């Protein structure tokens, strides 16, 4: 799969592509921890932005969620890249596009709770540690932040 053929999309809440993103998030982020999404986890997501990269066959390869905190601050959550596509610059491409998307909406700061195993990924994307470590979903995390 070629990086250049990926297209960036905003997914409408509860659209078929949104449910594809739930499957990817479940497989990449939840199942390895012995967890799975419940309907009540998802009802809150109606006011979030759901962003994704699709391949040339419109298959969803990577996704993330942006949750507004207030007018200027937004939280990036649930960053997931299809396992077979990891380590090829796709996560970086999605985060860069999401930052630009957020900037255009008027947000000035992006934060996230990064799993400590992927701390180097966010450090390379110029996020700074602002808090932590702390435990969330049973694993160590750091709060990180970046001015947009
Ligand atoms: C973490 C994740 C989103 C990164 O996406 P990716 O497409 O694999 O990463 P990229 O190829 O874009 O990597 C960008 C840079 O970060 C580095 N990087 C990415 N993941 C890394 C990791 N786990 N450990 C160390 N460095 C990492 C890459 O080496 C690359 O560095 P470079 O620019 O010097 O070459 C993806 O691997 C993933 O979905 N992992 C499983 C789910 C997860 O942990 N999500 C994050 C929850 S906080």
Question: 97 CA distance to ligand 1 centroid (A)?
Answer: 15
107, 82 Cβ separation under 8 angstroms? no
Read off the pLDDT of each residue in 17-23 and give the average, rounded to a whole number: 97
Q: Residue 123: beta bridge partners?
A: none
What is the mean pLDDT of the segment spanning 118-122? 97
* CATH of 3-147 given 3.40.50.880, 3.20.10.10, 3.40.630.30, 1.10.10.60: 3.40.630.30
pLDDT value at 69 more than 90 = yes
Domain range annotation of the chain:
3-147
Q: Whose CA is nearest to atom 5 of ligand 1?
A: 91
Q: What is the rounded average pLDDT of the residues 113-141? A: 97
Window from 3-7, 81-85, 118-122, 132-136 with minimum mean pLDDT: 3-7
CA 54, CA 81: separation in Å to the nearest integer? Answer: 11
Per-residue pLDDT for 130 more than 60? yes
3 vs 5, higher pLDDT: 5
Strand partners of residue 80: 63
The b-or-e profile of 95-130 (16+ CB within 10 A means b, else e) is: bebbbebbeeeebeebbbbbbeeebebbeebebeee
Question: When comparing pLDDT for 38 and 121, which is higher?
Answer: 121
Mutate to test the pocket of ligand 1, among 91, 114, 132 (most ligand atoms within 8 A of CB): 91
Percent of the chain predicted with pLDDT > 70: 97
Question: Which amino acids bring their CB within 6 angstroms of ligand 1?
Answer: 28-29, 79-81, 86-92, 114-115, 117-118, 120-121, 124
């Amino acid at each position: 799969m070629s990086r250049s053929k990926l297209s960036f999309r905003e997914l409408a809440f509860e659209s078929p592509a949104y449910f594809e993103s739930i499957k990817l998030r479940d497989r990449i982020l939840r199942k390895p921890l012995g967890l799975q999404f419940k309907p009540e986890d998802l009802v809150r997501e109606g006011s979030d932005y759901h962003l994704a990269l699709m391949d040339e066959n419109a298959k969803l390869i990577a996704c993330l969620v942006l949750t507004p905190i207030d007018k200027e601050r937004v939280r990036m959550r649930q960053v997931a890249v299809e396992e077979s596509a990891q380590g090829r610059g796709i996560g970086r491409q999605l985060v860069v596009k999401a930052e630009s998307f957020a900037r255009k909406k008027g947000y000035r700061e992006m934060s996230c709770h990064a799993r400590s195993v992927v701390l180097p990924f966010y450090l390379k994307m110029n996020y700074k540690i602002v808090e932590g470590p702390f435990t969330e979903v049973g694993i160590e995390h750091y709060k990180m932040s970046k001015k947009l």
